[in-house]
């Protein structure tokens, strides 16, 4: 009996502290049209169940919000030609999109599907013809979208695309899912759009590296943060090069010119506590460029931005300062 008692005591002394050490769980899968990496720290959990749940949530929303996947909700709306009943979550996405359209005076434009499909980066070898671009622009614009809580009606052949905001919305859902499962120290990285919560190894804030858009340095800079989303929109990942002129065309379009935005910016990194805000604003600020982008950002709350311009110079919003340490550039948020 004494021996049993002793071994129980010994088991508790050794095993209990071990079970209190948070474990590192990580998984990378292809989802949301990109590589999604999830890392979290927790005491023992059934991580297979957690990852299964997370990736099924990602998949559900990707289907729902994609304008290209047939039979998704957005696809249905785009091909309807009449009034369509709105699902609550599509309404939320639409409401946010409309807000950022207005805030950025159309730099973030969710009505550009016709133009976006014309600029089919995977198959084009040269710029589309200007007549086709003009035609696509005629069939875009917020004035051709009528919606309320229950219904949406698209007029004049306008079609919607949420590629610049859906990932932010889905990151919010993934974060909510993790928290519902009792996990609070995590990072979800969806192709460079990163949501952070709690502490890395439950000890310190997360260190995030910002890519060098020119591919020359290992990283352009570093930032330490938590309970925030950090999103980068750039011209260096999705593009094609015109074989005859050598001109490069990327995937963030100007709803004014109909061409890929040329604002002198190579990448813009945005930080916000709201992932939807971070995603929408990164795209909008890329279109707007550093000067007018910074004017907007410095006048509103909960958005910080780091612009890396094509000439290599860096401009940041007022709340971010730069510090060089050991040859590395660090961004510090006040």
Where does this chain bind Mg ion (CB under 5 A)? 164, 279, 282-283
* Residue among 96, 159, 251, 277 that touches ligand ADP (CB under 6 A): 251
Q: What contacts 181, CB < 8 A, 6 or more positions away? A: 45, 50, 53
Query: Where is 314: in which H helix or E strand?
Result: strand 314-316
- Between 54 and 287, CB nearer to Mg ion: 287
Minimal distance, residue 288 CB to ligand ADP, in Å: 10
Residue 234 CA, chain-centre distance (Å), reads 12
- Between 185 and 279, CB nearer to Mg ion: 279
Minimal distance, residue 210 CB to ligand ADP, in Å: 14
Contact code string over 121-160 relative to ligand ADP, x by CB under 6 A: ----------------------------------------
163 binds ligand ADP (CB under 6 A): yes
Q: % helix / strand / coil in the chain, to the nearest 5?
A: 35, 30, 35
**Among the listed residues 281, 314, 311, the one whose alpha carbon sits nearest the alpha carbon of residue 298:** 281
**Among the listed residues 43, 287, 58, 44, the one whose alpha carbon sits nearest the alpha carbon of residue 164:** 287
* Residue among 73, 161, 185, 304 that touches ligand ADP (CB under 6 A): 161
* Residue among 195, 253, 265, 296 that touches ligand ADP (CB under 6 A): 253
Dist CA 107 CA 297 (whole Å):
13
Dist CA 136 CA 144 (whole Å):
13
Residues from 255 through 294 that contact ligand ADP (CB under 6 A)? 255, 279, 282-283, 287
- Between 64 and 287, CB nearer to ligand ADP: 287
Q: Specify which residues 272 forms β-bridges with.
A: 229
Dist CA 334 CA 329 (whole Å):
16
| Angle, vertex CA 26, rays to CA 24 and CA 28, nearest 5 | 170
164 binds ligand ADP (CB under 6 A): yes
- Between 229 and 316, CB nearer to ligand ADP: 229
Work out the burial of residue 325: count CB atoms within 10 Å of its CB; fewer than 13 is exposed, 13-18 middle, 19 or more buried: exposed
Minimal distance, residue 257 CB to ligand ADP, in Å: 11
108 binds ligand ADP (CB under 6 A): yes
112 binds ligand ADP (CB under 6 A): yes
Residues at the site binding ligand ADP, with contacts judged by CB under 6 A: 108-110, 112, 116, 161, 163-164, 193, 233, 238, 251-253, 255, 279, 282-283, 287
């Amino acid at each position: 009996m004494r021996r049993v008692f002793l071994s129980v005591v010994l088991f508790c002394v050794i095993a209990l502290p071990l079970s209190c050490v948070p474990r590192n769980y990580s998984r990378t899968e292809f989802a949301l049209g990109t590589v999604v990496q999830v890392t979290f720290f927790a005491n023992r959990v059934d991580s297979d169940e957690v990852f299964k749940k997370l990736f099924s949530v990602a998949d559900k929303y990707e289907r729902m919000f994609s304008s290209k996947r047939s039979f998704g909700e957005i696809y249905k709306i785009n091909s309807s030609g009449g009034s369509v009943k709105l699902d609550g979550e599509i309404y939320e996405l639409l409401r946010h999109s409309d807000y950022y359209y207005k805030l950025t005076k159309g730099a973030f434009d969710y009505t550009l599907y016709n133009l976006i499909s014309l600029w089919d980066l995977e198959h084009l070898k040269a710029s589309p013809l200007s007549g086709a671009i003009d035609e696509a622009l005629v069939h875009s614009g917020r004035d051709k979208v009528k919606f309320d809580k229950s219904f949406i009606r698209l007029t004049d052949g306008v079609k919607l695309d949420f590629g610049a905001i859906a990932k932010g919305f889905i990151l919010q859902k993934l974060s909510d899912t993790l928290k519902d499962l009792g996990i609070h120290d995590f990072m979800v990285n969806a192709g460079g759009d990163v949501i952070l919560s709690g502490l890395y190894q439950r000890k310190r804030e997360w260190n995030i590296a910002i890519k060098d858009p020119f591919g020359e340095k290992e990283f352009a800079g570093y930032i330490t943060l938590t309970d925030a989303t950090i999103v980068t929109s750039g011209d260096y990942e999705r593009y094609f090069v015109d074989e005859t002129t050598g001109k490069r065309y990327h995937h963030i379009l100007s709803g004014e010119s109909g061409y890929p935005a040329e604002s002198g910016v190579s990448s813009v990194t945005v930080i916000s506590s709201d992932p939807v805000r971070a995603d929408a604003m990164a795209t909008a600020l890329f279109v707007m460029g550093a000067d007018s982008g910074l004017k907007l950002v410095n006048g509103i709350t909960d958005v910080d931005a780091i612009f890396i311009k094509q000439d290599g110079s860096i401009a940041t919003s007022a709340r971010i300062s730069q510090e060089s340490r050991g040859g590395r550039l660090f961004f510090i948020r006040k």
